[in-house]
Amino acid sequence: MEGNGMVDVDMISLFPQNTFKNRPNGLRADLAQKLADLKPGFIRFPGGCIVEGRDLTNRYQWKTTVGDIEERKLIMNRWNVEFRQKLTPDYFQSFGLGFYEYFQLAEDIGAEPLPILNCGMACQYNSGEVVSLDALQPYIQDALDLIEFANAPVTSRWGKLRSDMGHPAPFNLKMLGVGNEQWESQYFDRYKIFEKAILDKYPAIKIVSGSGPSSDGGYFDMAWKELKQLHPGYVDEHYYKPPKWFLDNANRYDNYDRNAPKVFAGEYAAHPKESGNPEGRNNWESAIAEAAFMTGLERNADVVNMASYAPLLAHVEAWQWRPDLIWFDNLRSVATPNYYVQQLFAANKGTNAVPILRNGAVVAGKDSIYASAAIDKNTGELIVKLVNVTDAAVTTVLQLEKVTVPKQNATVTVLKSTDKNAFNTLDNPVLVQPVPAVVMVNGNKIPYVLEPSSVTVIRIKCKNI
């Protein structure tokens, strides 16, 4: 501008030139890259309780988060009044990051999008506000319109908006979540209406339903009883528990009904005791417990089709919840030990789970060792994951059957710490990180020493896979 005068400013949004994939109105490059480096199969958005809102007026509505940035409707964040360490709540959502950007992020990092929508219920821990069944149609229409926004041609109303925003091609949405952690009959009364409306119009969409806020108990049992009679693509289970629970429940899914709906372990994290440092709950004790538990997820991949640690991100000066996978300030970010556990499993998932047994039984905590195995038909490798939760080294022998193993240097990755309280910080970001190694393999019998308190991944080239 030149000359003298007065300017009224309505909305200003300042972005660095270096955004992820150099997209205008893009994402912070280091944070998005850390998500991409996890090699995720999917990304669930915008989250869990954030979908519900403290009340329905303040719920997350996807239609107010798309279109021109300056027209998106600002609301108070659902967590705004729950920052114990902040005297002045100032946590709002401008929706510069909205559903279009979430879909774009999923595409950019090679992940399937999994949006979660409000089911006509606010957070039951807060207001517990519920829409009457005869007033539920606008919420159902939001779900149907979202599928149109994601998948329909540009000749449709919502497909045209997607195109106008810069993405004429469909996002190829396959999954949609209805509700988050709702419970009791009021949820299932509403879920049934959503399910029928969605599947009548879009029968190929897989719906994610919820099992409530707990890993067991009356709400959980009721949910599964109801959902076995319905048709969800996945049942979302959540559990935030102490590390010992994760160690004790590594065989949780061994005896699940193989004919029941598939499980989505949608929110989980081991919660150790409080620490004076915000990042301190993301310590090695929590990470190794999650690794032990995840061997059970992999072993039961026919039941647990998807799993995701939660939450993903936390600012060191504006966190409401701990632990979180990635911590950051305004300039830097740090991957936690828990992040590296997730990354190890995702990067080494293989194509098919195979049995790994000790004396005929699954390896799920006996002598404090946990294990899972998979083959990768694309690379011709056997992938073995071994978790030693003791403070002592453990000598073991891998006996491989039904394959031929040529002489080779097999690749090994070890994540370990001798201090269960160790955690990564912005100033010391690599205290706990994966270390590559090799092991000499000569035949089907492979001696190996598991290091104390460690997660080990071994990849072995095999014939006859």
The pLDDT tens digits of the residues spanning 378-411 come to 999 999 999 999 999 999 999 999 999 999 999 9
pLDDT at 464: 87
pLDDT at 111: 98
Integer-rounded Cα radius of gyration of the chain: 23
Tokens 């970010």 belong to residue:
333
The predicted model scores a pTM of 0.96
Angstrom distance (rounded) from CA 237 to CA 313: 20
First to last CA, the chain: 68
CB atoms within 10 A of CB 97: 17
* DSSP assignments along 246-312, one per residue: HHHTTTTTTTS-TTSPEEEEEEEEE--S--SSGGGGS-HHHHHHHHHHHHHHHHTTTTEEEEEES--
CB atoms within 10 A of CB 176: 23
List CB contacts of 98: < 8 A, sequence separation 6 or more.
Answer: 62, 65, 66, 72
Tokens 């020493």 belong to residue:
449
Per-residue pLDDT of the chain (465 residues; tens, 9 = 90+): 789 999 898 888 888 889 999 998 899 999 999 999 999 999 999 999 999 999 999 999 999 999 999 899 999 888 888 877 777 678 889 899 999 999 999 999 999 999 999 999 999 999 999 999 999 999 999 999 999 999 999 999 999 999 999 999 999 999 999 999 999 999 999 999 999 999 999 999 999 999 999 999 999 999 999 999 998 999 999 999 999 999 999 999 999 999 999 999 999 999 999 888 889 999 999 999 999 999 999 999 999 999 999 999 999 988 889 999 999 999 999 999 999 999 999 999 999 999 999 999 999 999 999 999 999 999 999 999 999 999 999 999 999 999 999 999 999 999 999 999 999 999 999 999 999 999 999 999 999 999 999 999 999 999 988
Asked if 181 is an active-site residue, the reply is yes
The pLDDT tens digits of the residues spanning 338-354 come to 999 999 999 999 999 99
CA atoms within 13 A on the CB side of 347: 16
Domains, the chain, with CATH or none: 20-350 (3.20.20.80), 354-461 (2.60.40.1180)
pLDDT at 25: 84
pLDDT at 12: 83
* DSSP assignments along 29-55, one per residue: HHHHHHHHHT--SEEEES-SHHHH-SS
The one catalytic residue in 101, 129, 181, 290 is 181
Tokens 């195979």 belong to residue:
354
